Structure 1
Amino acid sequence: MTGDMMRGVALIGHGGPECLVWREDLPRPIPMAGEVLIRVAAAGVNNTDINTRVGWYSKGDNDADDAGWTGAPLRFPRIQGIDICGHVVAVGDGVAPARIGERVLVEPCLTEARGQMRDPAWFLGSECDGGFAEYCAVAARHAYRIDSPLSDIALASFPCSYSTAENMLTRADLRKGETVLITGASGGVGSAAVQLAKARGARIVAVTSASKAQSLRDLGADIVVDRSVPYAEALAANSVDVVVDLVGGPNWSALLDVLRPKGRYSVSGAVGGPIVLLDLRTLYLKDLRFYGCTVLEPGVFANLIALIESGAIKPLVAACFPLRDIAAAQAAFADKAYTGKIVLSVSTDQGDQRDAREL
């Protein structure tokens, strides 16, 4: 392999796992002015990787014409991977050479990319190449130095899920002493939201399957609700200040019934189904506030870095796979038989598949 090439996984089109192709001849990026080049150590697996691959974000029945995060078509081949932990190995013009050698986490929501300010924001692995390869170039402002004893693999579990969760809590202005209901609480974003809400001093109601109830209690959930039980049976009406919803689906309207008047609802996922039934009378008679959460609020990622460095939150790595085994990793991800995140090792010496207890 020549010095200007790298290994990685290329997404060659919308479809199944067969659209993910291992290559050893991908062009290695050259950092532009204002950018850093990162040697990727590890990259997390997320719903967004799979959603982007299959064209789920399209509103036109997986029409490739609007299948990106911004509603624009993707350009192929695309290197996916929105979660990146790695080390700065080169810098572009205007970036201090002292940054070379830093271990960094990359903010997944990019207001600057490829030399331009972006509005709407771009996202790693969708509008531009991400972490499923040995190297990635990003604007220096989005590469945050991290000082932590945690491994690269552990740190790679944080960026997308935890910043999404922190953004949802920030938008909804969750405060100490309030009660928050978190759907899909055993997944990457949900389990992050449990920890982050606990760090804010909130009372947490976590919705999950019965088999994962204890793992959520261990994270700090005060009440665990079996997802098969109707909300009206498990909780009193008007008993929740904030809902953090990652599920949507047919039971969605019941979430509004348990919200208190002037309650806040934030959403950043729809794994149970994107189309829901809303009674507008519930919305306006209860003075509810709704927040769609995609682009990160200013300060969210910096706050996340501080929480990681202080040890206030911990990584939840369910399993690790070598990057080349991305199809198996995504299959394990789809099974949902775990709490936390699945991570791909890229250029660390931890490339063998292991249970999280070994990390």
Structure 2
Amino acid sequence: MSHAIEVREASSGSRTKVPATMSGVLLLGHGGLEKLEFRDDIPVPKPAPGEVLIRVAAAGVNNTDINTRIGWYSKGVKSGTGAGATTGFESSQDDDASWSGVPMSFPRIQGADCCGYIVAVGDGVSPERIGERVIVRNMLRSYVDYRPWDCWTFGSECDGAFAQYTKAPSRETYKVECDWSDVELASIPCAYSTAEGMLHRAGVKAGEHVLITGASGGVGSAAVQLAKRRGASVTAVASKSKADEMRALGAERVIGRDESVVGHLGKESVDVVIDVVAGPAFAGLLDVLKRGGRYAVAGAIAGPIVELDVRTLYLKDLSFFGCTFQDDMIFTNLVSYIERGEIRPNVGKTYPLERIVEAQQDFLSKSIGGKLVLVIPE
């Protein structure tokens, strides 16, 4: 029979109890929304040496949660996320349907975004960490011994934040001191690290013109803020209904997502493209790049298969950056931006954890600007 975990609080020396079981959402396999199951009898994980146990307070919803659920990363899938977002893809193959290309094990607790409080520590971790409010680096390096270009995604290759408790490597669990709410902090890890990683890899500098697709989504809105932080001029591609929201985040121009970027900007007018959409609009993104321009991509929600005229690539001396792996400085820098008040997340709506299906449906509808966040009670 399982028993509650007894935990010493670092500040007072008193002892509290972590329950033996918790509420959470299990992903039972690749497929439709029916693969998500809310349960209240999931065993609470125990921190291994070097790990911390976190009481999760809030967890953001991300496109990767949906892509992982439906098996979109499989090379058998040729269309955008939306085509199978609620039902899954028959063409998806389980053996290559994860971030890493390695078959996932089920059930899995997803959730790449975690804000919470450390309640217990494994061997080798100072108990002084207990009580810290933290966020977890979503691209984990500890579990792969910091090998170059290798990482685990929190909530994919290991359990994540869609539960009352989760565990993570202590050295990749960051204390954050700021006046933000738990919901705001939970908006940061996946979207902002993805955006900052793209801007870092593309070497975005002050005074450059940056075009950002999918700008009203989590990664896109983060990229708008982070590009402005670097002193760049931003053109956002988003629904026209969200134009005011994009300008409030710092975009100088907003182009409707169904409009021609070439028609609005002209050819060879942009230094850097930050893309999470791909699909049919891909060729136009290359047309607006200047000679020597840079294209960075970390998503393909409109479709992963695009038409590339290789002559455009080499005759214009373009540089392409595929962005999944993140340099170690990316997450450390994000925490410093938060603590210095240089960024602020755009939260659209919150939901209790048990309404995760509704949250994902709203996410897919693209009707709500800003980050959607699941709130997880004690």
What TM-score do you get using the length of structure 1 for normalisation? 0.94
The yes-or-no answer on 1:254 pairing with 2:270 is: no
Task: Tell me how far apart the structure 1 counterparts of residues 178 and 119 of structure 2 sit (CA, whole Å).
Answer: 19
Structure 1 runs of 4+ aligned residues shifted over 6 Å read none
Secondary structure of the corresponding residue to residue 23 of structure 2: strand
Which of these residues, 167, 179, 189, is aligned with residue 159 of structure 1? 189
1:38 paired residue among 54, 62, 70: 54
Identify the residue that residue 83 of structure 2 maps to in structure 1.
none
Other-structure match for 2:256:
226
> Does 2:75 correspond to 1:59?
yes
**Equivalent of residue 335 in structure 1, options 340, 361, 365:** 365
Helix, strand or coil at the partner of 2:248? helix
Q: Give the CA deviation at 1:44.
A: 0.3
- For 2:94 and 2:42, the matched residues in 1 are separated by 23
For the pair 1:18 / 2:48, whether they are aligned, the reply is no
> Structure 2 residue aligned with 1:135, among 146, 157, 165?
165
Cα distance change, pair 308–209 in 1 and its aligned pair in 2 (3 A): same
Report the RMSD for the aligned CA atoms in angstroms.
1.3
- Which AA in structure 2 matches 1:269? G
In structure 1, the partner of 2:299 is 269
CA offsets, 1:108-139, max 9 Å, x none?
000113x9556621101111000001111111
Q: 1:177 maps to which residue?
A: 207
Structure 2 equivalent of residue 235 of structure 1: 265
Partners of 2:145 and 2:119 in 1: CA distance = 22
Structure 2: unaligned runs, 5 residues or longer:
5-19, 77-90
1:146-176, CA deviations, whole angstroms, 9 ceiling, x for partnerless residues?
0011111111011100010000000000000
Q: 1: distance between equivalents of 2:23 and 2:258?
A: 44
CA distance in 2, matches of 1:332, 1:303: 31
* 2:45 pairs with 1:29: yes
Query: Does residue 280 of structure 1 match 2:304?
Result: no
- Comparing 240-249 and 52-61, the one that deviates more: 52-61
- Which of the numbers 325, 340, 344 marks the counterpart of 1:314? 344
Q: Which amino acid aligns with 2:63?
A: N
Q: Which runs of 5+ in 1 are unaligned?
A: 349-359
CA contact (8 A) 1:38 1:87 kept: yes
Q: Percent sequence identity over matched residues?
A: 56
The question of whether the paired residues in 2 share the 8 Å contact of 1:110 and 1:118 is answered with: no
Distance 2:247 2:51 in 1: 42
Match of 2:24 in 1: 8
Aligned to 1:203: 233
Q: CA deviation at 1:347?
A: 2.5
Kindly tell me: are residues 118 and 326 of structure 1, through their superposed partners in 2, closer, same or farther at Cα, counting changes over 3 Å?
farther
C-alpha distance in 1 between matches for 2:147 and 2:95: 20
**Which of 221, 224, 239 in structure 2 is aligned with 1:194?**
224
Q: What secondary structure does 1:334 align onto?
A: helix
Deviations 1:18-44 (A, max 9, x none): 111111121211111111111111000
AA paired with 1:53? R
Secondary structure at the aligned position of 1:251 is classed as helix
Q: Which amino acid aligns with 1:98?
A: E
Paired with 2:249 and 2:51, the residues of 1 have a C-alpha distance of 37
Q: Verify the 8 A CA contact 1:112 1:118 in the aligned structure 2.
A: no
Aligned length in residues = 347
Which residue in the other structure is 2:242 paired with? 212
Matched letter for residue 216 of structure 1: M
2-structure distance, mates of 1:168, 1:150: 25
Letter in 2 for 1:204: V
